């Protein structure tokens, strides 16, 4: 290893859940150092957060614009190699734009932007600047999700007929002042934007299927809330497959139960994020098979993203770190002036555009009474 990559962070101050996750994911493999940050829109909170993290105070910034400008002015061997964006949704785009234009690579939380228009603009910027842009649809970082994708690619399921993707959570059953329920910060959707988009991404990652049209029923169960906290959809995929997808934040007692079943003409598969080390494959005329992470029989791609032997479970942080590992591989190349490896495997700006189009389509369908709506492209 030549040297560790230098990471900056925007957002993720004290008490922010997702910022801490990004840091652990970055640190886990010992290849990335956090060296700078603008951790909050509140300059004092940013300063304290940097102090908690043991950073050099000179590199803890009061705002992201100052950070981008200052870091860009540092010698190349000192300045950050990339920035990790972990703010509320409405800031994703302006922060990403600022850092891209300042010459930095980016790892960003999802959904990619506030709306589809921003997403399309961002895609243009990424293409133009040639910088690395990785989007943390972290569930695709799980080895057994990659195994699932390999099975589909190899034709082991035959032709895919049906996809059932569920993402129930219960935490919004109570009124909440989370920014996720604020349309000014979150965008036009809560449940679909926050978690439905993970389910869409997961299904597409595994199957490669593209949505042709969908019918989305949104409900706001908690009085006074301004965005939906539950969304159920029927999906028609290009090529004739059908789908059921739902995202719910009022499903009491559900924690983070994203799961997917993919039904093919030859076999079907089932994966549950809360038990991520197993992938069940079902056949019509043979015993079910349980594929378990870390075994010699799994595919090379699943092995590549595996740190521990079988029976030594890996989980959320390790999967998240797999996104960072791949982003780091691309960023190392970019920093070294080399071409980005063609086999790179992380959600990119195109995935982000598709995700925002998915949200936009669902919102449009729901607003029109849950009618069938062509996928926005």
Site for its own copies in 92-111 (CB under 8 A): none
Sign of the CA dihedral running 150, 153, 154, 160: positive
| CB closer to its own copies out of 105 and 365 | 365
Q: Which of residues 172-231 bind its own copies (CB under 8 A)?
A: 173-174, 215, 217, 219, 221, 230
- Structure tokens of 60? 């803890």
Q: Which CB sits closer to its own copies, 185 or 272?
A: 272
Q: How far apart are CA 314 and CA 169, in angstroms?
A: 22
Residue 237 contacts by C-beta under 8 Å, 6 or more apart in sequence? 163, 209, 210, 211, 212, 243
Nearer to its own copies, 126 or 269 (CB): 269
Instruction: Figure out which of the listed residues 43, 125, 317, 335 binds its own copies, where binding follows CB under 8 A.
Output: 317
Structural Rg of the chain based on CA atoms: 20
Q: Select from 8-16, 17-25, 176-184, 338-346 the region that touches its own copies (CB under 8 A).
A: 17-25
Q: Which residues pair with 213 in a beta bridge?
A: 236, 374
Query: Which C-beta is closer to its own copies: that of 72 or that of 272?
Result: 272
Q: By CB neighbour count within 10 A (0-12 exposed, 13-18 middle, 19+ buried), where does 236 fall?
A: middle
Which range binds its own copies by CB under 8 A, 56-64, 123-131, 196-204, 269-277? 269-277
Q: Is the peptide bond before 111 cis (omega within 30 degrees of 0)?
A: yes
- Nearest residue to 50 via CA among 25, 14, 19: 14
Binding of its own copies by 316 (CB under 8 A)? yes
- Binding letters toward its own copies, positions 140-159, x by CB under 8 A: --------------------
Rounded CA separation 166/65 (Å):
38
CB 359, min distance to its own copies, A: 18
C-beta neighbour count of 287 within 10 angstroms? 8
Query: Residue from 57, 223, 224, 287 that binds its own copies (CB under 8 A)?
Result: 287
Told to check if 331 binds its own copies by CB under 8 A, we report no
Binding its own copies by CB under 8 A: which of 153, 236, 303, 304?
236
Among 310, 334, 350, 376, binds its own copies (CB under 8 A): 310
Residue 25 near residue 346, CB atoms below 8 Å: no
DSSP bridge pairs for 263: 162, 268
Q: For residue 115, give both structure tokens.
A: 């709306």
Question: Within 26-55, which residues bind its own copies (CB under 8 A)?
Answer: 27-30, 34, 51-54
**In whole angstroms, how close is the CB of 331 to its own copies at the nearest point?**
16
The answer to whether 284 contacts its own copies (rule: CB under 8 A) is yes
List Cβ neighbours of 304 (8 Å cut-off, separation of 6 or more). none
Q: How far is the CB of 1 from its own copies (least distance, A)?
A: 4
The least CB distance from residue 308 to its own copies, in Å, is 6
Residue of 234, 335, 340, 344 interacting with its own copies (CB under 8 A): 234
């Amino acid at each position: 290893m030549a040297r560790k990559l230098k990471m900056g962070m925007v957002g993720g101050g004290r008490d922010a859940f997702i910022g801490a996750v990004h840091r652990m994911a970055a640190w886990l493999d010992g290849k990335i150092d956090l060296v700078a940050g603008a951790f909050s829109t509140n300059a004092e909170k940013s300063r304290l957060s940097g102090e908690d993290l043991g950073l050099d105070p000179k590199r803890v910034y009061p705002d992201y614009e100052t950070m981008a400008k200052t870091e860009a002015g540092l010698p190349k061997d000192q300045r950050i190699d990339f920035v990790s964006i972990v703010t509320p949704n409405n800031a994703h785009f302006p922060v990403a734009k600022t850092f891209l234009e300042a010459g930095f690579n980016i790892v960003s939380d999802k959904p990619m932007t506030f709306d589809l228009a921003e997403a399309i603009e961002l895609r243009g910027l990424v293409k133009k600047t040639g910088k690395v842009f990785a989007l943390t649809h972290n569930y695709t970082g799980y080895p057994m999700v990659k195994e699932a994708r390999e099975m589909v690619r190899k034709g082991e399921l035959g032709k895919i007929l049906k996809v059932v993707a569920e993402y129930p959570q219960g935490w919004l059953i109570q009124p909440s002042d989370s920014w996720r329920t604020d349309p000014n910060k979150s965008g036009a959707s809560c449940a679909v934007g926050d978690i439905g988009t993970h389910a869409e991404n997961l299904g597409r990652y595994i199957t490669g299927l593209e949505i042709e049209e969908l019918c989305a029923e949104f409900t706001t169960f908690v009085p006074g809330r301004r965005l939906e906290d539950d969304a159920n959809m029927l999906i028609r995929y290009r090529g004739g497959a059908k789908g059921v997808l739902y995202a719910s934040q009022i499903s009491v007692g559900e924690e983070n139960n994203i799961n997917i079943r993919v039904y093919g003409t030859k076999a079907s598969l089932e994966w549950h994020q809360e038990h991520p080390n197993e992938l069940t494959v079902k056949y019509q005329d043979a015993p079910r098979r349980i594929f378990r992470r870390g075994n010699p029989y799994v595919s090379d791609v699943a092995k590549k993203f595996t740190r521990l032997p079988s029976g030594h479970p890996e989980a959320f942080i390790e999967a998240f770190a797999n996104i960072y590992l791949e982003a780091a591989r691309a960023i190392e190349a970019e920093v070294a002036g080399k071409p980005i490896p063609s086999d790179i495997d992380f959600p990119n700006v195109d995935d982000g555009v598709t995700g925002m189009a998915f949200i936009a389509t669902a919102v449009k369908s729901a607003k029109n009474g849950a009618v069938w709506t062509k996928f926005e492209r």
